[in-house]
Amino acid sequence: MVLERCDLELEANGRDHHTADLCQDRLVLRRGQGFWLTLHFEGRGYEASVDTLTFSAVTGPNPSEEAGTKARFQLADTLEQGTWTAFVADQQDTTLSLQVSTPANAPIGLYRLSLETSSGYQGSSFVLGHFTLLFNAWCPADAVYLDSEEERREYVLTQQGLIYQGSAKFIKSVPWNFGQFEDGILDICLMLLDINPKFLQDANQDCAGRSSPVYVGRVVSRMVNCNDDQGVLLGRWDNNYGDGVSPMFWIGSVDILRRWKDHGCQNVKYGQCWVFAAVACPVLRCLGVPSRVVTNYNSAHDQNSNLVIEYFRNELGELESDRSEMIWNFHCWVESWMTRPDLEAGYEGWQALDPTPQEKSEGTYCCGPVPVRAIKEGDLNTKYDAPFVFAEVNADVVDWIRQEDGSLHKSVNNSLVVGLKISTKGVGRDDREDITHTYKYPEGSPEEREAFTKANHLNKLAEKEAAKETEVAMRIRVSQSMNMGTDFDVFAYITNNTPENRECRLLLCARTVSYNGVLGPECGSKSLPDLTLEPFSEKSIPLPILYEQYRDFLTESNLIKVQGLLIEPAANSYLLTQRDLYLENPEIKIRILGEPKQNRKLVAEVSLRNPLTVPLLDCIFTVEGAGLTKEQLSVELPDPVEPGEVAKARVNLLPIDIGLHKLVVNFQCDRLKAVKGYRNVIIWPL
């Protein structure tokens, strides 16, 4: 019996395994689920009484049955779940149709499938082909199983998303093209696994470990940054990006991953937290792990695990020196859905993974996975890196004022709460979902107190015990929308809740700031040395913010930090309040010209009106979208765009796939750092 050929049934298997986008010229399967195989023999067909068929499936450079990277199995009478089996589904003359099953805990990766035939004393062996095995969120026995079809589509199959930036009081959604099923991305994800240091040290153990999404998630967290290895992205936060690409200019993961592969796995310059998270997310989705990008506002970077971020200031409220422990305006990481058999029951579900290189974990720059539930419960002994993630959403902030005699005085800061409005894109819609409740119990609840007690967060407990209504309060307010290029006012509202006059000094200051809390130059200030607060009264003090003062210093984050310091000399008290302002960019308008049908050429017209009082120079539109463009498209405008004029460009699209797609656009020039927009496009069949 001689095998003529093997049909891997790409179309049927791609449909059944939700891998149709990956099965154009290769077989991609999800584990724990049967797949079809058709064998065509020469001369005569298979005879059960005469012939023995033995299959072999192997992965990794040195496969072994002990490690779970090699399986040998024969035809079975029925298809058995949970193990490697092959079952005859149909037989017609010399054609044998088989259904083959894989275990739901098999290592993921590239497999070689072979067949040995034996007819009496004669035997032959054939390589049937190769297939890639992924995690399976549709299989109840798989560690990444999700029981909601809508969530499976969002967190595994959707190739576009929204990432949240801005500030806690002005949340800004930024479109992103994940593109996990675009050409070449699966191979890049497998390459990323194969050059990770654990594979290079012990390939057998590493390939065996790929049966666990916990293990794979930790490897991806490490390999998306390049601090220890040949990882994908190099981080940079100093606003000097001339020898690479500014983190704000990226609009998708595909371009980043392809650059990394095309340049021999040399790091791509540059990334910041949302870029690291937005690259890790499609890598994990591509491998089959349900994943999403989340944003935490007022996120603490606690280096010494004492759950306190301390700032030391002079008597004017100015920071004495730059510090590595900071409060970031926002910080992004990834959540992935999986069971945790290595932990106690109840810690399955969403796990936090943070690929941004901040602190080392077990000697390398990675973070997680740690159960979100463990963070909520204050269980800091949970693997991996629970204390660091707990601090990101719960740390205390203490401001110390160093007085002229050198003594330190603790100021009251009634404006800064760590861990606010933790956000992710909603399932099946372009709305923000607030998931703060999954990380934190309600403020002041008995459950919150219990979690803090378990985490030994004594500072927070003492602070809550001592909390009382303040005699004097101050907050920063805005009275209008704040658009890029405009002048506007902010106001310090000061309330005296006592029956006496209070003699105070007020210092107001506005400075540009990066999203990670690093301050830039001053762009507005006011000092009132003699401010009297009448009993039970409120004062409103305006502070003008002028475009001419912030235009040259605003970072790509579009953020300005306004700080008020109220000093009451008689009581030797300091009241500090802060607010971060996000300046809104102009809108990018997107028109689709042509009939939106599969394989029909379309044109996207993108435009933006110059809102500034100066011309825009070096203008570039960049466009991409999974299923709409083969690669990223860029159009440079030859002429300056004068004030009030419209910058406009057209790009050709080729919609390959039917369904809903997202066209993502970035505009950059000398004055507008990174303006983003998107449009949902539905492509219909011919």
Catalytic residue set: 273, 331, 354
Contact 155, 623 (CB under 8 A): no
**529: Cβ contacts below 8 Å, ≥ 6 apart:** 505
Is 585 marked as binding a ligand?
A: no
- Which strands, in side-by-side order, build the sheet including 602-609? 589-593, 602-609, 646-653
Buried b (16+ CB within 10 A) or exposed e, 472-489: bbbebebeeebebbbebe
Q: Kindly state the tokens that stand for 115.
A: 């067949």
Residue 456 annotated as part of some ligand binding site: no
Angle, CA of 288, 293 and 298, to the nearest 5°: 155
Residue 101 and residue 141: Cα distance in Å, rounded? 13
- Provide the 3-class DSSP secondary structure of residue 109: strand
Which residue has 């390049």 as its token pair?
226
Phi, psi of 321 (to 5 degrees): -160, 165
For the chain, the C-alpha Rg in angstroms (whole number) is 29
Q: Containing H/E element for 458? A: helix 458-466
Sheet hosting strand 633-636, strand order edge to edge: 633-636, 620-624, 659-668, 675-683
Residue whose C-alpha is closest to residue 474's, from 408, 566, 340: 566
Nearest to 277 by CA among 349, 210, 225: 225
Q: How many CB atoms lie within 10 A of CB 527?
A: 12
**Any binding-site annotation on 396?**
yes
Residue 319 per-residue DSSP state? B
- Answer whether 260's CB lies under 8 Å from 266's CB: yes
- Token digits of residue 684: 């219909």
Contacts of 89 by beta carbon, 8 Å cutoff, 6+ apart: 36, 97, 98, 99
Token pair listed for 556: 């790509």
Both tokens assigned to 253: 């993961």
**450: its two tokens:** 């219990």
* Closest CA relative to residue 432, chosen from 247, 148, 165: 165
Q: Is 443 known to sit in a ligand binding site?
A: yes
Would you give the end-to-end CA distance of the chain in angstroms?
Answer: 45
Cis peptide preceding 270, ω within 30 of 0 = yes
At how many degrees (to 10) do helices 254-262 and 185-194 cross? Answer: 60
Query: How far, CA to CA in Å, does 412 sit from each of 134, 144, 306, 463, 473?
Result: 52, 46, 20, 11, 10
Cα gap 222→384, rounded to integer Å: 13
Instruction: Detail the residues annotated as belonging to a binding site for Ca(2+).
Output: 394, 396, 443, 448
Instruction: Detail the residues annotated as belonging to a binding site.
Output: 394, 396, 443, 448
